[in-house]
Amino acid sequence: MNSVRRAGIVGIGSALPEKVLNNEYFESIVDTSDEWIVTRTGIKERRVAVDGECASQLAARAAEQALNNAGISAEELDLIICATISGDMPFPATASIVQEKIGAKKAAAFDLSAGCSGFVYALTTANSFVCSGTYNKVLVVGVDLLSKVTDYTDRTTCILFGDGAGAVIVAPTDGSHGILSTVLGSDGAGAELLKIEAGGSRMPITVEAIETRQHCIKMAGSEVFKFAVRIMGDASLQALEKCGLTPEDVDIFIPHQANIRIIESAARRLNLPPEKIFVNVQKYGNTSAASIPIAMSEAMQEGRLKPGDVVVMVGFGAGLTWAASVVKWGISANNGNSV
């Protein structure tokens, strides 16, 4: 019989493309301004992949960093979960391609689609596998290259997104640190608010679909904004309550990096002071499923996320979905062989 045990994050890494697009670039391609983008979103620049750069490459780089930080080898992995909505191909799973790239010979592998909530969904799934005793070492990757599916003639979406990957290793812990609670949710009534319509079974790709840019992201921005403002606070409070903590116990809040106004309103709801909120949306834009692990990795590198800290992460996205988790942090940048 498998017994319930605690799982935690024992390694973390991230990877970003080199190419930077700043707001001035967008002034040159659509009717927008640096001032509008900064005041409405907080974004100043974002990283985008070049031709030929794909999800599995960034994912593998982030994964190798996470393995290094955990001090374990790829051969030890039992499972790879890749949270993505912009994988290398519709199928096979990007997780399987990552498996081959990093040499995780004995790992099972699958992708998970929950939009920008995908990383916390995948973390929750990994937590369940480890706590149940089914697996010991799970690689969770959040990776998205939304620049590849962005309509660069649509000013309401093209300024928002950037590319990147973040990865963690989830494994059993001695109980002094680990994943304390998770909350997942979905409201399919909002499915049409944020979508790529063409390329699935409902609307296969046709010349007409491409001409009308149905193969790119379409979003009802202000509806998603209102949902995000409500759900980020609600989900964080639920996750805290589930593990018997309150906002006063939080050392650092690492929300999905979509829009500074959404982040600030969630932080106000939790009554958190600015020094407890991690923000890097100004540098990377919205990297979808990658945003939370990239932010956690950076927070740890900067010494803002330390062993013993209580961290709340929360995301929202296509579905519409939401996901939050409270984690007692247990690692540092020089944990394994250093990141």
Which residue's CB is nearer to ligand UT7, number 156 or number 280?
156
For residue 298, report the phi and psi dihedrals to the nearest 5 degrees.
-65, -40
Phi-psi region of 200 (alpha: psi -120 to 50; beta: other; left: phi over 0): beta
Buried b (16+ CB within 10 A) or exposed e, 67-102: bbbbebebebbbbbbbbbbbbbeeeebbbbbbbebb
Cβ within 8 Å of residue 268, ≥6 positions away: none
What is the C-alpha radius of gyration for the chain, rounded to an integer number of angstroms? 19
Which residue's CB is nearer to ligand UT7, number 74 or number 228?
228
Which residue's CB is nearer to ligand UT7, number 73 or number 222?
222
Bridge partners for 191 per DSSP: none
Asked if 234 and 270 count as a contact pair (C-beta separation under 8 A), the reply is no
Best CA proximity match to 335, nearest among 8, 6, 12: 12
Q: Which of 54, 127, 177, 256 is catalytic?
A: 256
| CA–CA gap between residue 258 and residue 319 (Å, rounded) | 16
Place of tokens 């995000």: 228
Which residue's CB is nearer to ligand UT7, number 203 or number 219?
219
Q: Which of 54, 82, 116, 158 is catalytic?
A: 116
Active site residue 256: yes
CB atoms under 10 Å from CB of 206, counted, come to 12
Residues that bind ligand UT7 (CB under 6 A): 32, 36, 40-41, 116, 155-156, 159, 194, 219, 221-222, 224-225, 228, 258-259, 286, 317
Give, as one character, the DSSP assignment of residue 195. E
Which residue's CB is nearer to ligand UT7, number 8 or number 118?
118
Active site residue 286: yes
Q: Which are the catalytic amino acids?
A: 116, 256, 286
